[in-house]
Chains A and B, each alone.
Chain A
Amino acid sequence: MNLLQFLSGRLVKGVLVLFAIALLNFFLIRAAPGDPAQVLAGEAGAADAQLLEQLRARFGLDQPLLTQLWIYLKGYATLDLGFSYRQQRPVLDLVLDRLPATLLLTGAAFIVSLGLGVVMGALAARRAGRWSDSLITTLSLVFYATPLFWIALMSQILFSLKLGLVPNVGFETIGANYTGLARALDIGHHLILPSITLGLFFTALYARMMRASMLEVAGADFVKTARAKGLSPAIVSRRHVARNAILPVVTLAGLQAGQLVGGAVLTETVFAWPGIGRLMFDALVQRDYSVLLGVFFISSAMVVGFNILTDLVYRLADPRIEAAS
C-alpha cells in the first residue's frame, strides 16, 4: 500500500469521524431540555421572540426531524458552524481567530511532554530498581495524580506572582507592540508556564509508558542477540531497546492528542490564553451553545488531523507496517 492510498484512506476515515461528530452535535441540541431554538440562540435569544422565529425558519425546526438533520449537516458540510448571537459573529470566524494560539500551546505541550516523557522513561528503565528510577517513577505518579487546573493555579502563584519569573497571564505583553523576533520571544516567554503545566500530566503518562515498554523490550530475544555481538550496553539500549520501545508510545501519544485539547480548556482558562479553550469557557459562562458545539467540532477536526500526522510518522518509523497492510 503506497503513501497516497494510505493518506486517502485516512482522510476518508477522518471525514467519517467529523460526520459522526456533526450528528452527535445535532442530537445533543435535541436532547437539551427546552426549545432547540432557545439552545441555538443561547442566552441572547431568551428575550427576543423575533430571533427565535428566525432560527426556527433557518434550521427548519418546525419540519420533520430528518429534514432538520439534513439542514444541519448541510451547514457543517459547507463549514457553516452557526452564528453566535452573543458576539454577533459566525462561529467559524470566532474559532479560526483563536485556533493559532491553541495550536501553539498544544503543539508545544505535546513536544515537551513526549520528548521529556520518553527520555525520563528510558532513563528510569535503564536504572530500574535504583534510586533515580524510584525518583522518576514517583514524580510521574505525582504528576499523573495532580489536577491540571490546580497545578496551573499553584505554579501561577509561585513562579509568576511570588517569584516573578514568567508573565502571569495572556499571550503577549499588551501594549508593547513588539514585532518580529522580539514578539516571538515575548510570546515564548508567555508560553512557558501554560505549556509546561499542560504537558506535566502527559509527561508523566509517556514516562510511565516508555518505562514499561523499555522493560518489556529489554527481555526480547533480539536484545540478547545484540548483546551477544559484543555491543556496549549504551548502544544496545539506544539502538535496539529504545527504538522498538518508542513505537507503542508514539501510537498512544497520537491517540491521546484529544485529551491534550481537553486540557487546553483548563490551561487557557487559568492563564487567559486566547485560544479555543478560553473561547469554550467564555461560551460556557455565556451559555452560547452554538460556539460550544463549534469549538467541539473544530477541536475534533484538529485531533483527526493530528492523528493522521502521527500515523504518518509511525509508518516511517516501523518498516513492518507497509508489509502488514
Chain B
Amino acid sequence: MADVSKAEPVLSIENLTLALPPLADRAHAVENVSLSIAPGETLCIVGESGSGKSMIAHAVMGLLPKAVKPKGGAIKLAGRDLLSLDEAAMQDVRGREIGMIFQEPMTSLNPVMRIEDQIFETFEAHGLLAKSERRARTLALLTEVGLPDPARLAKAYPHELSGGQRQRVMIAMALALEPKLLIADEPTTALDVTTQAQILKLLDNLRQKHGTAVLFITHDFGVVAEIADRIAVLQQGKLVEQGTADQVLSNPQHDYTKRLLAAVPSLIPPQRPAIVESKPVLSVTDLGKVYRKRSFFGAAREVKAADNVSFTLAKGETLGLVGESGSGKSTVGRCCLRLIEPDGGRIMLGDLVLSDLGKSALRQHRKRIQMIFQDPFASLNPRQTVGRIISDGPVAHGTSRKDALARAKELLELVGLSANAVDRYPHEFSGGQRQRVGIARALALEPDVLVADEAVSALDVSVQAQILTLIKEIQQRLGLAILFVTHDLRVAAQICDRIAVMQRGRIVETGPTAALFAAPQHAYTQALLAAVPGGARFGH
C-alpha cells in the first residue's frame, strides 16, 4: 500500500450535498460528505444499494442525472472547484484529468464502433497526438492492460470480446491520457470471480506504475479488503466512518460498519451437524442438456450446459452447486424441476422417477420440489396480492382458497412477515421482504426439496445474512433438502453441507464443504477459491 499521508490531495470533496427531486424517498442523495484522495491512493467508498455512493462518483465527473442537483459544498480537483466549472471546461477535465470505468462492461462500449476508434476518440476529444501516433499509443495501451493480440483486437467490435476483455478496454480508455484520478464505479461487480481477481490486480498494478489516484465505488467488502488504502462508509447518503483500510476493517467504530462487516459471510465453513444417512430424496444421474443455436445456414453451435451431471441430496442436507456464469449450474437447477427439459439422464424424487413423468402427472408431483428465485422484483406477479401468490400453489392442487389463505398467513409469520401482508401487493415490500414471500410460496406446497437459484445474490449484504439465517432455520425445522445454486463461495461456505463445483457443464469436484475449502483437489476449484476477494482478511 502506498505511503500517502503527507501529499497534497488530488481530489478533495468538501461538504458535498446533492439534492434529489421533490418526490424521492429522501431529500438528499448525499449529505455533507467530505473526502479526500492523495496521489497514488485508492479510496474505497462502500455502501449498500441506495447509499448514494455512485452519485458521488458521477458528481465528480459532472455526469449527474438531470434530476439530481449539487446543492452545496465543493469538489476540488488539484485545488480547482469542479462544481463551478461550465460544461465546456468540464468536458476538458473529463478523460484528460479524470478517467472513469463503469459497472457493465457488456454495455459500456459502443456496439457499432471498432475498439480502436473508441480509443482514438479520447485523444481526438482533447486534440492530442497526431493521427499516426494515436494508433501506436492505442496498441501500447491495449498491450499494457494485458489484452492478447492487440493489433487484431483493435480492429474488433465490442461484441467479439468477452466481459473481462471489454473491461480491460474500458481501463485502457480511461487511462489513455494518464489522468490524475481514476473513478471506478463497481467495475468488477458484473464479472466472474476469477476475472474480477485479474481486473483488480491490473488496476492495482497500473495505479502503482502511474501513480494514479483511484476512487473505487463498491458494495463488496471482499473487494475493499483486496484493494483499498483508505475506506469511507456511506449509509443513506451520510458518511458514517472513514479511515485507513486496517482501521476500518479490523477496528470499526460505527455501528453500521460493524453490522456490515459482521454480515460478510466468512470463507471458513462453520461446524455443521452431520447429516443422518438416509435414502436420498433427490438423485440426479447422468443429466445432460445441450443448447443449440440454430442458424439459417451453416452448422449450429452447441453449448453443453449439463454434461453427465450426477449427484444426490439427502433429507435435511444442503448441496451447493457452485460455478461461474455459463458453467451450467442454473440449467442443472432448473432441470431438476423440469422447468428446463433435460436431454437425457434420470431425475428421481425419492422413488418417483420425475424425468419419466408425462405432462399431467408431472403437474401433480411438482409440489414435491419447489424453487426460490433470484430476483425478488421479478419473481412475484405485480398484479396479484401476496396472499394470492402464496395460496395459488395449494389451490392448484385442490385446496380451497379459504384454507390456503389461512395457511398463507401462518407461512408469512414463519418467514418473518406479518400475517396481514396477505392483502398487500408486492410493490409495497422491500427486496428482502419479497424474497421472504418467495420462500413462503415455495413452502406452501410442503415440498421435500427446495432449489434455491442464486436466492440471495440480488440482496444487500445485511439482508442477505438475514435470508440465509431464515433458510437455515426453516431447513432445520422442516427437514428440507436444499439444492443451493450460487456463484458466491462465501455464501456457499456458510450454508452448504456439501459442495459440487461446476465448470462448462461438468461437475469437476464434489465434497463436504469444510474439506473442499480446506484442501481443494481440482485445479479449477483452487483457482476459484484463490480468486475470492478479501480471502486473506475474511477468513481463509
Q: Is the CB of B95 within 8 A of A229?
A: yes
**What B residues does A229 contact at CB under 8 A?**
94-95, 121-122, 125, 173
A9 within 8 A of B: yes
Q: Looking at the complex, which one of A224, A228, A244 makes contact with B111 (CB distance below 8 Å)? A: A244
Question: Shortest CB–CB separation between residue A311 and chain B, in angstroms?
Answer: 12
Known contacts A220-B107, A221-B108, A222-B109: A228-B157 contact under CB 8 Å: no
Across the interface, which residues of B come within 8 angstroms of A224, CB to CB? Answer: 63, 102, 108
Name 28 interchain pairs, CB-CB below 8 A, sorted by A. A1-B295, A1-B298, A220-B107, A221-B102, A222-B108, A222-B111, A225-B102, A225-B108, A225-B170, A225-B173, A226-B110, A226-B121, A228-B174, A229-B121, A230-B95, A230-B122, A230-B126, A231-B121, A231-B125, A232-B91, A232-B125, A235-B125, A239-B113, A243-B110, A243-B112, A244-B112, A319-B157, A320-B112
Asked if A182 is an interface residue, CB under 8 A from chain B, the answer is no
Give bound CA distance, A224 to B102, whole Å.
9
User: For the complex, what is the distance from the CA of A320 to the CA of B121, rounded to whole Å?
Assistant: 21
Say if the beta carbon of A174 comes within 8 Å of chain B: no
Residue A127 at the chain B interface, CB threshold 8 Å: no
* Interface status of B104 (Cβ within 8 A of chain A): yes
Binding site for A on B (CB under 8 A): 61, 63, 87, 91-96, 99-100, 102, 104, 107-113, 121-122, 125-126, 157, 159-160, 170, 173-174, 295-298
Q: Is A227 an interface residue when CB atoms closer than 8 A count as contact?
A: yes
- Hey, which chain B residues are within 8 Å of A230, CB to CB? 91-96, 122, 125-126
Contact of A5 (CB < 8 Å), options: B61, B94, B170, B297: B297
Contacting residues of chain A (272-325) with chain B, CB-CB under 8 angstroms: 317-320, 323, 325
Within 8 A of B (CB), among A220-266: 220-222, 224-233, 235, 239-240, 243-244, 247
Please tell me the size bucket of the interface on A.
20 to 34
Q: How far is the CA of A224 from the CA of B94 in the complex (A)?
A: 11
Say whether, besides A235-B125, A323-B160, A227 and B102 are in contact (CB < 8 Å).
no
CB < 8 Å: which of A5, A225, A231, A235 contacts B109? A225
Which of A197-233 touch B at CB < 8 Å?
Answer: 220-222, 224-233
A224-B63, A230-B126, A320-B111 known, 15 other contacts, Cβ within 8 Å: A1-B297, A220-B107, A221-B108, A228-B94, A230-B91, A230-B93, A230-B96, A230-B122, A231-B125, A239-B113, A239-B121, A244-B111, A323-B157, A325-B295, A325-B296
Bound Cα distance from A228 to B182, whole angstroms:
11
> In the complex the two chains form, is B159's CB within 8 Å of A319's CB?
yes
Contact yes or no, B99 A240, CB < 8 A: no
Shortest Cβ gap from B289 to chain A (Å): 23
- What residue in chain B is nearest A325 (Cβ atoms)? B295
CB of A130, distance to nearest CB on chain B (Å)? 13
List residues of chain B with CB within 8 A of the CB of A222: 107-111
Residue of B nearest to A231 (CB): B125
Nearest 9 A/B pairs, CB to CB: A230-B95, A230-B94, A221-B107, A229-B95, A228-B100, A319-B157, A221-B108, A222-B110, A230-B125
Q: How far is the CA of A19 from the CA of B170 in the complex (A)?
A: 51
